[in-house]
């Protein structure tokens, strides 16, 4: 008999009410669970001793809370809902549209379903089997299908209306799993033969933004309110801390908590008068909320400490060498057939194996096409590395990426200059936040803070703070943008 079980509670689209989360955590605490994790597919994960498991199961069933034990039969529906309003959003997609889609998905999908805003780069687009991406046409979505256990991806011939997503997803799942239709044409015919859906022709591929992971930790202002991002270096959250979070949300009428694919938590809608209460809870539980940006851009497998330990080992080397990783994200894969999201992939491979026992392992490094983590094409960078050599080779990859990006920008500037030879070239100075890389440019000002365009940095009020992460004015560093002639 196994000593411990892994219990998973899906949070559809990464959304959970404080009341529901509080109930689950209280039951977990009674079952002697003291720490929990969030998964890459925005679910709640915990490890429970077998002696306590039967009592916890009974309580979860009594409260009608769905769960799985040591199983991935029902992968969670994930979405970019966690980034809506606080990061860049699309022209028409709002939080209400996500809820509309969730209402349509009135069953537990056995396929991985992703719902994404096409204008964001915070959550992955193609890690699902059914990847719905908002199109420029209001209330219509692209669908990209990836059959299970394959790396092939094809676009559905039509854009799907919001209110038909649930019905179509269920029909596609039935055709793929029960009837074993996998090919593009055969699957389309099987789904549309006896059902009608509101659609429009999809005449071109989806246009996705360049990847840039926004800083998702700490207090950050948006509009008249703030949001709080919570990340833990070991990926484990104290149940006692989360219970305090739920209680404060209920007290201050915050109706939702958002789990991210980066195994972190985002709390939206914090009023200015409530900031003190949130700071008190962070202090009470000794929660640090200002980690380096290069530490936040990692994704590891669920329920394993090995990937987390390797991540922390590499990050220490990055800090030592002051390595620039902006524009990149990293995935660590220690188990065969597991899936992680990243523009650079560290894959562990057994070199010597006896039966199921790996006696000696090495690491292979891969990078995606154009270093875009949403690409499904991987290129081998280094093979058969010892652990001690992994950080140095990753630093080399980072430098390769930065050199490539610099060259692309130089070529772009040269092309623009050739179009207008009379353009006067001058050195422009902006001020950049070292924590989240947000830039203050006097050419544009800061409209949200009421700072008009043309306001010099030295004319900003002394209490001015970074528009994204609230870092004080004195932290922002002057950066010269030199045009290329």
Q: What is the pLDDT of residues 20-47, one digit of tens each?
A: 999 999 999 999 999 999 999 999 999 9
Domain span at residue 132 reads: 88-201
pLDDT in tens, 328-352: 999 999 988 888 999 999 999 988 8
Instruction: Place 441 in a pLDDT band, splitting at 50, 70 and 90.
Output: confident
Instruction: Place 404 in a pLDDT band, splitting at 50, 70 and 90.
Output: confident
* 9 within some domain: no
Residues 278 and 321 in one domain: no
Instruction: Place 409 in a pLDDT band, splitting at 50, 70 and 90.
Output: low
Residues 95 and 193 in one domain: yes
* 211 within some domain: no
* 103 within some domain: yes
How many structural domains are present in the chain? 4
21 secondary structure, DSSP code: H
Quick check: 355 pLDDT over 90? no
* 3-state SS assignment for residue 184: helix
Q: What is the pLDDT of residue 81?
A: 96
* 423 within some domain: no
Residues 105 and 187 in one domain: yes
271, 293, 315: which is the final residue of a domain? 293
% of the chain exceeding 90 in pLDDT? 68
Domain harbouring 236, CATH code: 3.90.480.10
Residues 331 and 271 in one domain: no
201, 229, 255: which is the final residue of a domain? 201
Residues paired with residue 266 on neighbouring β-strands, in sequence order: 229, 258
Query: Which has the minimum average pLDDT: 17-31, 153-167, 319-333, 447-461?
Result: 447-461
293, 316, 338: which is the final residue of a domain? 293
Residues paired with residue 238 on neighbouring β-strands, in sequence order: 35
Residues 95 and 126 in one domain: yes
Residues 289 and 302 in one domain: no
* 413 within some domain: no
Domain harbouring 371, CATH code: 3.30.413
Distance CA 443, CA 430 (A): 9
* 6 within some domain: no
b/e map 142-160, b = 16+ CB within 10 Å: bbbbbbeeeeeeebbebbb
pLDDT in tens, 252-308: 999 999 999 999 999 999 999 999 999 999 999 999 998 999 999 999 999 889 999
Residues 197 and 96 in one domain: yes
Residues 196 and 94 in one domain: yes
* 463 within some domain: yes
SS3 content of the chain, % helix, strand, coil (to 5): 35, 25, 40
* 236 within some domain: yes
**Residues in CB range of 418: below 8 A, 6 or more apart:** none
| Residues 229, 289 contacting (CB under 8 angstroms) | yes
Q: What is the pLDDT of residue 360?
A: 86
- Pick from 259, 227, 282, 295: nearest CA to 82: 259
């Amino acid at each position: 008999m196994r000593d411990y079980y892994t219990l998973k509670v899906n949070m559809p689209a990464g959304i959970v009410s404080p009341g529901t989360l509080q109930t689950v955590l209280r039951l977990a605490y009674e079952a002697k669970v003291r720490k929990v994790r969030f998964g890459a597919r925005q679910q709640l994960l915990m490890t429970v001793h077998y002696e306590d498991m039967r009592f916890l199961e009974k309580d979860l069933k009594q409260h009608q809370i769905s769960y799985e034990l040591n199983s991935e039969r029902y992968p969670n529906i994930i979405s970019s809902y966690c980034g809506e309003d606080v990061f860049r959003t699309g022209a028409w997609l709002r939080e209400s549209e996500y809820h509309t889609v969730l209402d349509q998905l009135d069953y537990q999908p056995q396929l991985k379903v992703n719902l994404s805003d096409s204008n964001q780069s915070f959550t992955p687009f193609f890690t699902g089997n059914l990847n719905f991406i908002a199109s420029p046409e209001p209330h219509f979505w692209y669908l990209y299908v990836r059959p299970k256990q394959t790396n092939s991806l094809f676009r559905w011939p039509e854009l799907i209306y919001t209110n038909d997503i649930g019905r179509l997803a269920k029909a596609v799942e039935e055709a793929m799993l029960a009837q074993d239709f996998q090919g593009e044409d055969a699957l389309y015919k099987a789904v549309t033969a006896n059902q009608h859906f509101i659609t429009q022709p999809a005449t071109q591929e989806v246009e996705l933004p360049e990847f840039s992971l926004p800083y998702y930790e700490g207090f950050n202002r948006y509009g008249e309110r703030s949001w709080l991002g919570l990340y833990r270096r070991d990926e484990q959250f104290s149940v006692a801390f989360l219970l305090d979070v739920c209680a404060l949300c209920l007290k201050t009428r915050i109706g939702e908590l958002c789990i991210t694919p980066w195994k972190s938590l985002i709390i939206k809608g914090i009023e200015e008068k409530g900031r003190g209460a949130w700071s008190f809870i962070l202090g009470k539980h000794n929660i640090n909320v200002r980690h380096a940006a290069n530490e936040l851009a990692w994704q590891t497998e669920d329920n394993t400490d090995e990937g987390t330990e390797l991540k922390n080992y590499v990050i220490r080397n990055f800090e030592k060498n002051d390595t620039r990783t902006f524009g990149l994200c990293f995935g660590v894969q220690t188990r065969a057939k597991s899936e992680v999201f990243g523009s650079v992939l560290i894959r562990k491979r057994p070199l010597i194996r006896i039966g199921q026992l790996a006696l000696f392992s090495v690491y292979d490094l891969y990078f995606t096409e154009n270093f875009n983590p949403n690409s499904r094409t991987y290129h081998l960078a280094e093979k058969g590395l010892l652990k001690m050599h992994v950080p140095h080779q990753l630093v080399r990859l980072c430098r390769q990426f930065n050199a490539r990006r610099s060259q692309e920008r130089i070529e772009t500037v040269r092309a623009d200059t050739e179009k207008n030879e009379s353009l006067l070239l001058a050195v422009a100075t902006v001020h950049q936040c070292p924590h989240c890389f947000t830039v203050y440019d006097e050419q544009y000002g800061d409209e949200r803070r009421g700072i008009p365009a043309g306001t010099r940095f030295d004319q900003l009020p002394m209490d001015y703070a970074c528009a994204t992460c609230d870092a004080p004015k004195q932290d922002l560093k002057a950066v010269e943008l030199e045009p290329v002639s």
